[in-house]
Chains A and B, each alone.
Chain A
Amino acid sequence: MIRCESLSVSIHDEPILRDVTLDIAPGKVTGLVGESGSGKSMTALAVMGLLPRGANVSGRVMMGDEDLLRVPEKRLCDIRGNRIGMIFQEPMTALNPVKCIGDQVAETLLVHGKASRSEARRIAKEKLARVGLPADRFPLSRFPHELSGGQRQRVAIATAIALSPELLIADEPTTALDVTTQAQILDLLNEIVDETGMSLLLITHDLAVVAGMAHHVAVMKEGEIVESGATEPLFRAMEHPYTKRLFAATAHQPDRRPLPPEDPILDLTDVVREYPGARRGIFGREAPFRAVNEVSFTLHAGESLGLVGESGCGKSTLTRAILGLEPVQGGQIRAFDRPVDRSFPNALRAGIQVVFQDPYASFNPRWRVERLVAEPFHLMPEPPSDRRDRVAQVLEDVGLKPDAMDRYIHEFSGGQRQRIAIARALITKPDLIVLDEAVSALDVSIRAQILDLISRLQAEHRLSYIFISHDLSVVRAVTDRVLVMKAGEIVEAGETQAVFDAPGHPYTRQLIAATPRIPEDWQEAKHA
């Protein structure tokens, strides 16, 4: 049993955690939900005794009858990895890239002097088998880069449970993973909790994940726990307004009406995109890798088309081909009745704009917003003379004040940056905007606002969207038609509602089944 009592943390006099009291019951899953900056991860770090320098802590973190905030560092080192294990969001950076997976797992055992070298290897093999990486298929000598994201997270879990800790802290363990992989990892964590009686502190921003996994839930906002309790009653009751808001944002459906169909503006016929194979010998090459295989579809003006699929399915490659950034090896992409290739005129190119996923990497940090937003004017034969006015107008269009244009991008939050990205896409008055995972990196409440914004803009400017996402619920909320992509091919296409209600292809069914959701009857109780 671990108990945080009135835990408060401030860093440089700025309060980060306020009076957090949290019980982590043995053998149970405790969910800690909140948006970025709410203090979820900081709570975990406080329990681990890993707070950053300059942090000022008060309260108690009791493990048995020991206060972890007051024991010496040497004792904490005994506890970390031994009695408390932790896994992180990004399994690639959490593993040491130059250590094979066997050594990675064995290290924990060796550090704590719990086993001889050969014994540690034996236990490592056992634990890796437990997490679904049996040695006959995944030898201990494999390196992290030879594994997929889900397999890496399995290695991280094996490392964390190597010493059978009493508590496992999982900080957004599946956020970086695809839905089907996420479902498998969550199942694995559940099984381990059942088998070993370990406690699991599951930190996530995703209410649906918590609903399906946790026995207890605590909802965090701005460093405080605003509501906590057993999962089902909490979801049914939702007493705190913030919990309600969070829930509403998760299930948010922007108010949109499909526009009447018009002429096609984008047409793909049997598009093939291949990458050359790896070099073998001096002249030889392996067979080329086909990232996009004979993809065909048509997009009409004013239409919103979803493209869903898991990482590596070829959606981003297809996007780059549509934007004319990469050549295709077969088939044809036509936009506005002209083939998209080197000869595609800039004036038409201005009609297709894009918004990327990462609001932090999408902007040159050394430019001011005015210049950033005006960059697509490069496509115009001559830049407009009223550049500042035009920038001010699109900034207002996306809900920002025009004085934003004189500032640098680091002065804005993630949601504001994504608004600026949309402003940049709007400035040339395009007909089509490609939204490449444009809301995936945002918190749920911000995501709801951005979804509203793009729905409003679509109606106002008669825009067409290609909405690329791995998040089925978002695609369902904002698209008219959807394409499901797997391994470079479109396996299912149709009206969004129809596809989600009655998926035809097994893969679509698998995707829908793997998507975590809050049980329907819990929500009905709330609406009643």
Chain B
Amino acid sequence: MKPALLIGGALSALMVAAALLSLVWTPFDVTQVDIPPRLLPPGGAHLLGTDHFGRDILSMLMTGARTSIAVALVAVAIGAGLGVPLGLTAAAYRGGLIDEAISRGSDLVFAFPSLVIAILITATFGPSALNAIIAIGIFNIPVFARLTRGAALSLWTREFILAARTCGKSRTRISAEHILPNILNLLIVQATIQFSLGILAEAALSYIGLGAQPPTPSWGRMLSEAQTMIYSAPRLAMWPGLAIVAMVLGLNLMGDGLRDLTDPRLRRERG
């Protein structure tokens, strides 16, 4: 097993485990405001200390992981779930009207600054984690569509695709059986990148108050609240920041490891 996959997998698993654990148990109640023990340093009953409302930071990180991971995961699922089939279709009918429509559609979505549109959506439909998911998800669609189309196009000219066509297989079937498995490594890497970006986007939206709403904690909201105390209590910003870094790093490492694992040519060399 490659160390990258191991470290990445461990980091990601730790975060996901914390998020799942927070469903049933956290050291303290995150909605409980308790002024006297505010801004406690790490150690003692509060392992990572408390914030300016006296809430336990570890508990908030655990609960926040839930929001951040859920938002990013669903956003990637929306993006890949719609983008990949669109890209495959465009490549299968390359040069035709369908291809043109899908490609220009992607360009159109790409042309809008994504965060501004996300703000527009959440401003129109009200700020909530769900609207953040949809906004981030929509912008993942052209990312996957374009990547898929580009990678699939070069495969369609290969002789094994010609061989499959002489076997009378339809374009849809060839896309599913031949094209998709061969671009899966690219898609996995892209998915982990989009997942990371999703976590950052959720953090950004929450930071400006358009993502998760109080009292639901998220890593982005924790950052935003810590901003006012950045000089007096920098660790309030440090903990959610570290959590985001660890999650993103873990996912990227895991993506690289998975990419190698899905390739039979590389699998053998590891022996």
**Interface, chain A (partner B; CB < 8 A):** 320, 323-325, 346, 349, 352-354, 356-358, 361-366, 375-376, 378-379, 408, 410-411, 424
Contact = CB atoms under 8 A, between A and B. Distances in A.
B168 interface: yes
Nearest to B178: A364
A431 to B, nearest CB: 14
Given A364-B178, A378-B169, A356 B162 contact: yes
9 contacts: A323-B166, A349-B166, A354-B163, A356-B159, A362-B160, A364-B178, A365-B182, A378-B167, A424-B163
A194 B106 CA distance: 59
Contacts of B163: 354, 356, 362-363, 375, 424
Interface string B155-190: 000111011111111000000011001100000000
A410 B264 CA distance: 9
B270 interface: no
Most chain B CB within 10 A, of A323, A324, A366, A378, is at A366
Nearest to B182: A366
A375 B178 CA distance: 11
Contacts of B268: 408, 410-411
The SS class assigned to the B binding surface is helix
A324 B167 CA distance: 11
B181 A376 contact: no
B5 to A, nearest CB: 19
A176 to B, nearest CB: 17
Interface string B241-265: 0000000000000000000000111
A323 B268 CA distance: 36
Given A361-B158, A366-B182, 8 more contacts: A346-B168, A361-B159, A362-B163, A364-B182, A365-B265, A379-B168, A408-B264, A424-B163
B194 to A, nearest CB: 23
Contact of A358 (B159, B166, B182): B159
A375 B164 contact: yes
A408 B265 contact: yes
Contact of B265 (A324, A354, A410): A410
B181 A362 contact: no
Contacts of A378: 167-169
B160 A364 contact: yes
A411 B269 CA distance: 11
Most A CB within 10 A of own CB, among B163, B177, B178: B163
B94 to A, nearest CB: 14
Contacts of A354: 162-163, 166
Interface in B70-102: none
A376 B167 contact: yes
- Of B158, B166, B265, most buried by chain A (CB within 10 Å of CB) is B166
Contacts of A376: 166-167
Contacts of A365: 182, 264-265
A356 B164 CA distance: 12
Contacts of B167: 375-376, 378-379
A363 B263 CA distance: 14
Contacts of A410: 264-265, 268
Given A346-B168, A378-B169, A357 B159 contact: yes
Contacts of B168: 346, 349, 378-379
B264 A366 contact: yes
A324 B166 CA distance: 8
A360 to B, nearest CB: 9
A411 B267 CA distance: 12
B162 to A, nearest CB: 7
A54 to B, nearest CB: 16
B171 to A, nearest CB: 12
A362 B166 CA distance: 12
Contact of A325 (B166, B178, B181, B263): B166
A379 B167 CA distance: 6
Ranked 9 nearest A-B pairs via Cβ: A356-B159, A361-B159, A408-B264, A362-B159, A366-B181, A378-B167, A376-B167, A346-B168, A410-B265
Contacts of B166: 323-325, 349, 352-354, 376
A365 B264 CA distance: 8
Nearest to A347: B168
A158 B264 CA distance: 43
Contacts of B169: 378
A325 B264 contact: no
A174 B166 CA distance: 32
Of A346, A358, A364, most B-chain CB atoms within 10 Å: A364
Contacts of A320: 162
Contacts of A324: 166
Nearest to B262: A366
Contacts of A363: 160, 163
A354 B164 CA distance: 11
B252 to A, nearest CB: 23
Interface in B82-132: none
A408 B158 CA distance: 18
Contacts of A366: 181-182, 263-264
Interface centre among A320, A324, A375, A410 (most CB of B within 10 A): A375
Contacts of A362: 159-160, 163
A354 B167 CA distance: 10
B219 to A, nearest CB: 37
B234 to A, nearest CB: 45
Nearest to B170: A378
Contacts of B165: 323, 325
Nearest to B163: A362
A336 to B, nearest CB: 15
A438 to B, nearest CB: 11
A410 B166 CA distance: 22
Nearest to A368: B264
